[in-house]
């Protein structure tokens, strides 16, 4: 990746765009019947499935287009995607806070997806903000003693 750092998570722009595309398509095709659950109460209040679907489709197009330009443009595209997923997680969190039947798993999943996009943005950047994010991520990983298991044999536990 063109950038100043390395993250332990590699998210190519095409994969990020595919994720955003399918999420946006699911919102639009699913319609109001599929977004009627209690976890989506805040989403329905702030735009509904069409607006959120179009938003994620736009993120997909932006990520694909940005991958053809510089690392700076790609950084901003990843951060736009991370913002979309973070807003989605906050909307589900708000619904869970207001309704006792609201689900909690979406909050965890979309916060994690947002964090992966932030790490991908940081790996594509030359700026101090990105460097600080990668340093924080690497320190937390070291502090929690999380090993990178890529390239190891999962059946024997040997590298």
Asked if pLDDT for residue 7 goes beyond 80, the answer is no
| DSSP state, residue 149 | -
Q: What is the pLDDT of residue 6?
A: 52
Across the chain, mean pLDDT equals 80
Q: In the predicted model, is pLDDT for residue 2 greater than 70?
A: no
Domain boundaries, the chain: 13-143
Contact status, residue 106 vs residue 99, Cβ threshold 8 Å? no
**With bands split at pLDDT 50, 70 and 90, how would you rate the model's confidence at 148?**
low
Give the pLDDT band (50/70/90) at residue 159: low
Where is pLDDT greater, at 100 or 85? 85
Considering only residues 24 and 134, tell me which one the structure prediction assigns the higher pLDDT.
24
pLDDT, position 149: 58
* Rg of the chain taking only CA atoms, in angstroms: 17
The mean pLDDT of 35-63, rounded to a whole number, is: 85
Mean pLDDT value across residues 100-106: 81
**Whole-angstrom distance, CA of residue 39 vs CA of residue 144:** 32
Q: Which of 99, 105, 50, 57 is nearest to 80 (CA)?
A: 57
Q: Is the pLDDT of residue 140 over 70?
A: yes
Of 22-26, 55-59, 70-74, 151-155, the least confident: 151-155
User: Other CB atoms closer than 10 Å to residue 92's CB: what's the count?
Assistant: 26
- pLDDT confidence of residue 78: 92
Q: pLDDT tens digits for 60-99?
A: 999 999 888 878 888 889 999 999 999 889 888 888 888 8
């Amino acid at each position: 990746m063109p950038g100043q750092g390395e993250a332990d998570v590699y998210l190519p722009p095409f994969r990020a765009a595919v994720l955003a595309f399918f999420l946006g398509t699911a919102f639009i095709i699913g319609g109001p019947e599929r977004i009627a659950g209690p976890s989506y109460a805040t989403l329905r209040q702030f735009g509904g499935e069409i607006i959120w679907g179009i938003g994620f489709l736009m993120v997909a197009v932006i990520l694909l287009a940005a991958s053809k330009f510089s690392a700076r443009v790609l950084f901003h595209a990843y951060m736009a995607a991370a913002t979309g997923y973070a807003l989605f997680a906050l909307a589900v969190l708000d619904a869970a806070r207001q309704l006792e039947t609201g689900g909690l798993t979406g909050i965890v999943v979309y916060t994690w997806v947002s964090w992966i996009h932030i790490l991908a943005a940081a790996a594509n950047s030359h700026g101090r903000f990105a460097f600080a994010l990668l340093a924080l991520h690497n320190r937390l990983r070291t502090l929690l003693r999380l090993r990178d298991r890529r390239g190891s044999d999962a059946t024997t536990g040997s590298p």
